[in-house]
Amino acid sequence: MKTSTLGILAAACLVGGCAAHPDPIVDMQGVDPNRLAHDWEECESYSEQVRIEQGAAKGAAVGTVVGAATGAIGGDAAEGAGYGAIYGATRSGLDADREKQQVFKRCLRGRGYRVLN
């Protein structure tokens, strides 16, 4: 059980680190830096609406159930639940972070910027 708890904490740290995604690279040719700064803040606020922690929590819950069922077949439902929670939280957190990045970049592109990454 102790291993599962440590694993869940490690997964939470990994998911939290995902939020520090690299910024979009914008082609600055012909771009007004002041306008970009304003649009950047607005697009960033839109991307903040993607809630990474909620997705990770849901993924952990689903992973716990699936892991417990799988673990019960192998003889250790608690260990399976722990590993399932780790996997579910990490996978859902990574998916939410990817969506957050896409929202940010689509917003900038929609405002006419050439996003290079």
Taking a C-beta distance cutoff of 8 angstroms, is the pair 113, 38 a contact? no
Query: Is residue 98 included in any domain, yes or no?
Result: yes
Query: Is residue 59 included in any domain, yes or no?
Result: yes
Q: How far apart are CA 97 and CA 15, in angstroms?
A: 8
Query: Is residue 16 included in any domain, yes or no?
Result: no
> Model-level pTM?
0.58
Q: In the chain, how many domains are there?
A: 1
Q: What is the pLDDT along the chain (117 residues), one digit of tens a residue?
A: 444 454 555 555 554 554 455 789 999 999 999 999 999 999 999 998 886 666 556 666 666 666 666 666 777 777 777 777 787 777 777 777 888 999 999 999 999 999 999
Query: Is residue 22 included in any domain, yes or no?
Result: no
